[in-house]
Structure 1
Amino acid sequence: MPHMQMRDLKENYVVSKETLKGSMNQKKSSPQMMIKSGDRFEDGKKVLGRRNGRRRGRGYKVDRLQDGKLEPNMGSTPCKSLMFHTRPGYGQLGTKCIVKANHFLAEIPGSDLSHYSVEINPEVASRKLDKAIMTELVKLYRNSDLGTKLPVYDGRKNLYTAGSLPFTSKVFNVILADEDEETGNVRKRDFEVTIKFVAVASMAQLRNLLSGKQVDTPQGALNIIDTVLRELAAQRYLSVGRFLYSPTIRKPQALGGGVESWRGFYQSIRPTQMGLSLNIDMSTIAFIEPLPVVDFVAQILGKDVYSRPMSDADRVKVKKALRGVKVEVTHRGNVRRKYRVSGLTTQPTRELIFPLDEHMNMKSVVEYFQEMYGYTIRYAHLPCLQVGNEKKVNYLPMEACKIVEGQRYTKGLNEKQITSLLKVSCQRPHEQELDILQTVQQNDYDHDPYAKEFGINISSKLASIEARVLPAPWLKYSDTGKEKEYLPQVGQWNMMNKEFDRDPVIPIYSARPDQVKKALKYVYHAAANKLEGKELELLIAILPDNN
């Protein structure tokens, strides 16, 4: 490849609601809702403010600290827990019915689970690399040092096993071969991984919660089960935060401008009154379409680029769209090396020359590709992609590159793309049900080796829930409209012959995205002062459309 050598230069909430009284289609105020924030956890650690009183358990108990060594208690330790309000009773208002929910009943393991800490040296900033290191470790040592156990790793500092490993602390050496994102070269690196026992996660507490014998929720045990059920899915799908996406869940739909929609899902284990259940919900977000780069550029600009040179304005727009995007070369047969785009040349490909060696013998990019790869550049009027670092800039013709699949589109969507995304993501309930059931079928929890290892079983059927259809509330509109009051039917209504009051109870208030929290506090206090002890019945918040 031609190159230019440069000189060195989760809050948890408790929601309680007063018992409903009387008929809701009488003109009465809505019941009061109180939201009380519980303890906040980040990466498995409780974040505490300054307050008096005893501190809760940390997940492991320190018996003593001698000679700078931390010695954890080897016995069973209580998991971090959250306390929820018990249900005050069951309502009677409305028409009873049975509904299906996006929950799948789960059976938990009978034996306790073990928690270990993981320390990787040298440290790496990439969670993906951490996972790759631990995957290689399990591959190398599972049938020897790990005692045939199949552990799960959360990508940070925690490792979990069903039962105990045959050691309390051990150091492993791992050699990992991976690809350098800047140069595309394959490199081998040595890592030292230290695994130490932390605590036993008791499943008895979770069973007591599900049987109604305790009200504390053992969050630590739930986190382990969550991690186990996510392990195989994270290997099959692309993780974006807590969501998992794949083009196999549903065929991607083009949104225009080199962007397409991917379908994904969120899953979380939840304790419920019917038992432990796996909650699954669907999601749709935008990804960069894996097109040949020339085709992608044509979509970005919305014009013919195959025969016409690009203007300076076009080049700036394309550079902005491609910077940071990962591409793979297509001119070398089965050799598909990947690079990350760092920029775009100011000159077209036909004018680009570079020093071939340290004696500054110059060669054109067109000649180099013809002589080195037997590749004739067709679109020499287009600029080249710049890949690599600042010290060693490599040139790649656009036509010799294709965008790597699975890159989330993080820039803002335009109005047309937002409309297309909404059309793709909006579904009828039965369509949503089919997507969720298909996802559960694809995940195939019955044959998940990690779920089997930990003794976790997931039902393949949607949970059936007892529900009540509540009477609709009366809506009061402005007296200037033809219809001043309205009773919605089947949960919907329109604005025909109805008008809003021009002056709401609380004046319209707007705020920048980074000031929303302050704005809500302001509106809350303004409402309290205005209503003088009465309840605020409706607050409309209009958020901007973005990605």
Structure 2
Amino acid sequence: MGRKNKNKKSEAGGQPEQKPKENPQHQLESQQPGTSQPKQSAPPQESGQKESSQQQGAQQKESSQQQQTQRQQKRPQHQQRPQQQPTRPQEQRPQQQEQQSRKQQQQPQRQQAQPQHQQGPQQSRKQQQQPQRQQAQPQHQQGLQQTWPQQQQSHPQQERSQYQQGPQHQQGPHHQQGPQQQQSRPQQERSQYQQGPQHQQGPHHQQGSVYQQGPQQTWPQQQQSRPQQESSQYQQGPQQHKTPQQHERSQYQQGPQQQKPPQQPNQPHHQQRQQPQQTQPQHQQSPQQTPTRQSSVSHSSSSTSLSSAPSQSSISPGTLGVKGEAEANYLIMDLSKMPNKAYHYDVTITPDRPKKFFRNAFTQFMNTYLPGHFAGFDGVKSCYLLEMLPKPVYEGDVSIADSASRQIQFKVSIKPTDNIEIDLGSLRTYRNDRIYDKPMRALQCLEVILANACQQKGLRVGRSFFTRPNQTLDLDGGYELYTGLYQAAILGDVPYLNVDISNKSFPMALNLIDLLNVLRIDAGRSLDQRGLQSLSAHLRALKVIYSPPPSFGAAPRSYKVNEVSRESASSLSFKIDTGEKLTVQSYFASRGYKLKYPHLGCVVAGSSVKPNYLPIELCSIEPGQAIKKKDGKAQVQKMIKFAATSTDERKRKIMEKLQYFLHNNDILLQKFGIRIDNQFIKVPTRLLRPPSIEYRLGKLVDPRNGSWRNLQYLQTGMTLKKTGHKWAIIYNPSRFLRHGNLLDFSNMLFNEAKRMGINLDSEREIQETRDIVRTLEEYKRKDYDLVIVVIPNYGTSYADIKQKAELVCGLLTQCIKEQTLNRRVDNQLIGNLLLKINSKLNGSNHKISAKSHIVLDHAMFMGADVTHPSPDQRNIPSVVGVAASHDLNGASYNMQYRLQESAKEEIDDMQSISRHHLKVYFQKNNCYPNNIIYYRDGVSDGQFKKVNKFEVSAIRAVCKELRITPKITCIIVVKRHHTRFFPTKPTGDKWNNVLPGTVVDQKIVHPNETQFFMVSHQSIQGTAKPTRYNVLVDDAKFTMDELQMMTNNLCYMFPRCNRAVSYPAPAYLAHLVAARGRVYIDG
């Protein structure tokens, strides 16, 4: 990788750490832990391995000791390793520490020059005088019980040294390597990282252990006080005493799990995370094992051994930033009493509609035909039982009463699925799996069981359960707002239930005549074209309740709306059973009912062969219908305003919903042995320092709370015209827009552009036009660089302008709404417009200062996103947007978009897009990038494999075609989640949010993945939504700190505002590209 390999300065002395010269013999010793073991305690070698002779081992150890002596004399005292104490029972530790401290004060200088961890047959006196019970330990536990050389340490440092080096004492069969055994390169790298800082440290290993050298990059202070060290010890390493969070968990973590020894990770250095863990007495530790992926949970079938204990993760969390704490909307799920197996059955219910009665039909079937059995039903076709039924098939008839007290007959049958057995125990051993290899069948079963507690009290939409509030919020247009509880099972260090407040619009249960008034349609007149379209759009796919006149003697009935007829009830005719043709109005008159609104159309329902025509006045919207249509702009604006609450208010609403649904009182959850805590968990946070922003002439600005003031732009677009960029303003004639306002606006824009360094022509046209598209073509022929278009309130749309200007004319435009100009035009509005204009003219607004950036040698930052049509528009294609930087600062981007199959997430044409971006990069820099950082937005956990298989592979294929080998890092950007953070102390933010730069990479993340949450922006309104990042591919082997710092910095590189955005600029720009492609389609 092309990062600078500078020597890290020490914490106290400020001197660079000296790097020893390479030595083949020294390499062998540093890579093979087994060479430092004394003969009498060496573990037996595995079959097939050669036994090393004492003489050869002694020679190697003597040579290594001399080299280590030279290095140790040069190393400052604060950089030397803490002494690694022999493993003793916990009850002897105080006496041992006192003896060791006395010995250190009297230790001769020659003993400091001879590292004990490389002594061969020479043993320390303490090791020769170990108690008899310690000698009875297995040999592989005693082999590495040496003492590290050190200069006087305090007792707390000794304790940290013991905890820190403890797991390395107990090496299992995989570490029984003699001097002759060779390791592969990846194994050597893992060995170096696992054994602490080695003699041959690369740029990623210069920090060493957190306790040996301190967080050298931590901001703002490098030196930690003793309380800070204790806090760091809690967050970074295994602890002896429980933290409040661990004590909170302890009631769910009983059983043999607590006595399981820590295990040594076997992962690349950039995928290791260490989390707080409980420390047991050392005499209870068992031989160490090193599986491919670390697991801290037994695979035994016993339910007690599969308790939901927190995992010992193999991914190292980041260290940079100011440490803190926040609450997360996660509840601990105790699965320790859950059985190891459940049984999956298929459910068939006929007739297959109406589905809203399926749950009641299934419940009655279980009570009638399988009394005493408890099953979780998903409401459609699957159920889960705790025991296997004796017979293969069960079926029976049930009768359910509808809203009109009519009995509906259903036939219910259940039979086992092909793969009937569900391994619920996998919910306690998932820590070995990748995030896309989660135990999906067990998770689905768990989700069905959890939903059962909310089904009877709420209306389910996806993973949310809504209740109609006592006072609903009118969203206009015939919609009202429902609030609900979102819940999802999350596999973090332990299983959690993620809970959040949910808001959704529902159609008002109105009579259709009242709906016409809401839609501003005159019910006293026939429907015109606009009224017909508005009513049809509102009712399409909804269900209405048809209430026959009393003279019919029939009960109300529900119908699904197909459309609204163009013909009125007085003219719309149909044939009755006798063959006679009647109008709807005359038919109802013959049955004794006179229509009040015969001039209105009818609701058309039923089949196309034999439709039903229902008079509008006799129909009303069925309550509680969840719609899949996209909300209108008015509804979205009101929903956002209502949902914009502080963190304290949001937490209160969540707790109210939890109190309403009462999960733990549900009988099915009790039968499945599930219990849910009632308090949010606390997670450790770190506040990253914001980067310095660099402008023209190297001027720097330090952001505050995620925002900063603009200076003169870093680089402005070049033009060959002597007078500057030719530009004009055009607008439609309007009685609301005055020419004087436009003149003032143009003067302010020109003056501010001049101050910011943008070379605009002082001469510009302000033209009124009735045909904006034709006028754009004229300006293109006149070789104009930019046209500012005032979008009228009615008439020509934004989509029309962009489609014609960019696809037909090839002319840059900057749009501004007429209503915006009618309001006060201030410097903020002008500044925001110029940020966009400078970017469109191929300028760069700002960059991250070199002192704040991770130095990468020729990196190309890519972002990709795919936008999909709404569920009711599946005939419209999806749009792919990919943005890629082509400068050395990551500030200038090139855009590509494609159309592809509707609702398809993986990008089909990734090879062509990547080839284009790489060639543009080459044209700008005369070389190809050495690093490609690819931020992929908009994919779910289940699609990670496809991204790797189709998109990352496509990038690699293009690189192979171009004969280049850049290091590719793929980071998934996830915004569609319900994780929120709630500060435990006031932060000074208006909404009491965590501050910009807050990162969380422990507890709520997958224990075996490089994953973190980050709040990089300041929320303008409401609770801030963090972004989740999953590292899918990492050829560059970034550390967690490097990934988080790079990601946070890129959030300050969005060119359209002088604020940090919620996710990195490449992904944000890709989203805008895909949205622009959607605009082209709409136009």
TM-score (norm 2): 0.38
Task: Give the distance between the partners of 1:423 and 1:90, measured in 2 at CA.
Answer: 36
- Alignment partner of 1:338 is 2:553: no
- Alignment partner of 1:240 is 2:435: no
Aligned-partner SS, 1:417 = helix
List runs of 5+ in structure 2 lacking aligned partners.
1-203, 206-214, 222-268, 272-301, 714-834, 843-890, 922-927, 934-1049, 1051-1064
| Deviation, structure 1 residue 509 | 3.5
The one of 504, 508, 523 aligned to 1:289: 508
- Alignment partner of 1:93 is 2:333: no
- Alignment partner of 1:349 is 2:562: no
| Deviation, structure 1 residue 363 | 5.7
| Deviation, structure 1 residue 338 | 1.0
Match of 2:614 in 1: 396
Gap change, CA 1:380 and 1:196, over 3 Å in 2: closer
Match of 2:979 in 1: none
Gap change, CA 1:261 and 1:219, over 3 Å in 2: same
Higher helix proportion (structure 1 or 2): 2
Match of 2:526 in 1: 309
Gap change, CA 1:171 and 1:353, over 3 Å in 2: same
Residue type of the alignment partner of 1:22: Q
- Alignment partner of 1:152 is 2:376: yes
Task: Give the distance between the partners of 1:427 and 1:376, measured in 2 at CA.
Answer: 51
Task: Give the distance between the partners of 1:534 and 1:214, measured in 2 at CA.
Answer: 25
Aligned-partner SS, 1:99 = strand
Gap change, CA 1:129 and 1:524, over 3 Å in 2: farther
Give the alignment of 1:53-132 within 5 angstroms.
86-108=313-335, 109-118=337-346, 120=348, 124=352, 131=359
Aligned-partner SS, 1:377 = coil
Residue type of the alignment partner of 2:462: G
Task: Give the distance between the partners of 2:529 and 2:616, measured in 1 at CA.
Answer: 17
Give the alignment of 1:435-454 within 5 angstroms.
435-454=653-672
The one of 475, 483, 489 aligned to 1:269: 489
Residue type of the alignment partner of 2:544: V
Gap change, CA 1:176 and 1:497, over 3 Å in 2: farther
| Deviation, structure 1 residue 327 | 0.5
Between stretches 235-244 and 122-131, larger displacement belongs to 122-131
- Alignment partner of 1:260 is 2:455: no
The one of 494, 508, 517 aligned to 2:895: 508
Would the aligned equivalents of 1:113 and 1:161 in 2 still touch at CA under 8 Å? Answer: no
Task: Give the distance between the partners of 2:709 and 2:355, measured in 1 at CA.
Answer: 50
Would the aligned equivalents of 1:474 and 1:485 in 2 still touch at CA under 8 Å? Answer: yes
Match of 1:40 in 2: none
- Alignment partner of 1:532 is 2:907: no
Match of 1:226 in 2: 447
Q: Deviations over 1:467-519 (max 9, x none)?
A: 2222222234x539xx95433223x2156557556235321334458588357
Gap change, CA 1:414 and 1:24, over 3 Å in 2: farther
Match of 2:704 in 1: 489
Task: Give the distance between the partners of 2:478 and 2:220, measured in 1 at CA.
Answer: 50
Aligned-pair RMSD on alpha carbons? 4.4
Would the aligned equivalents of 1:171 and 1:192 in 2 still touch at CA under 8 Å? Answer: yes
The one of 457, 461, 464 aligned to 2:679: 461
Between stretches 377-386 and 112-121, larger displacement belongs to 112-121
Task: Give the distance between the partners of 2:625 and 2:409, measured in 1 at CA.
Answer: 25
Match of 2:539 in 1: 322
Would the aligned equivalents of 1:169 and 1:194 in 2 still touch at CA under 8 Å? Answer: yes
Q: Deviations over 1:317-336 (max 9, x none)?
A: 43343233210134557943
Task: Give the distance between the partners of 1:383 and 1:393, measured in 2 at CA.
Answer: 14
| Deviation, structure 1 residue 240 | 3.0
Task: Give the distance between the partners of 1:484 and 1:526, measured in 2 at CA.
Answer: 34
Residue type of the alignment partner of 2:569: T
Between stretches 224-233 and 516-525, larger displacement belongs to 516-525
Gap change, CA 1:475 and 1:85, over 3 Å in 2: farther
| Deviation, structure 1 residue 358 | 0.7
- Alignment partner of 1:138 is 2:358: no
Would the aligned equivalents of 2:463 and 2:488 in 1 still touch at CA under 8 Å? Answer: no
Match of 2:963 in 1: none
Residue type of the alignment partner of 1:172: E
Gap change, CA 1:524 and 1:386, over 3 Å in 2: same
Task: Give the distance between the partners of 2:328 and 2:660, measured in 1 at CA.
Answer: 19
Task: Give the distance between the partners of 1:245 and 1:462, measured in 2 at CA.
Answer: 21
Would the aligned equivalents of 1:178 and 1:186 in 2 still touch at CA under 8 Å? Answer: yes
| Deviation, structure 1 residue 443 | 1.7
Task: Give the distance between the partners of 1:311 and 1:204, measured in 2 at CA.
Answer: 63
Gap change, CA 1:521 and 1:431, over 3 Å in 2: farther
| Deviation, structure 1 residue 152 | 0.7
List runs of 5+ in structure 1 lacking aligned partners.
1-17, 27-32, 36-74
Aligned length: 459
Task: Give the distance between the partners of 1:294 and 1:344, measured in 2 at CA.
Answer: 13
| Deviation, structure 1 residue 454 | 1.1
Aligned-partner SS, 1:91 = coil
Gap change, CA 1:204 and 1:307, over 3 Å in 2: closer
Give the alignment of 1:195-234 within 5 angstroms.
195=416, 198-207=419-428, 218-234=439-455
Between stretches 219-228 and 113-122, larger displacement belongs to 113-122
Would the aligned equivalents of 1:117 and 1:198 in 2 still touch at CA under 8 Å? Answer: no
Gap change, CA 1:474 and 1:235, over 3 Å in 2: farther
Would the aligned equivalents of 1:116 and 1:199 in 2 still touch at CA under 8 Å? Answer: yes
Gap change, CA 1:375 and 1:186, over 3 Å in 2: farther
- Alignment partner of 1:173 is 2:396: yes
Percent sequence identity is: 19
Aligned-partner SS, 2:319 = coil
Match of 2:743 in 1: none
Gap change, CA 1:107 and 1:386, over 3 Å in 2: same
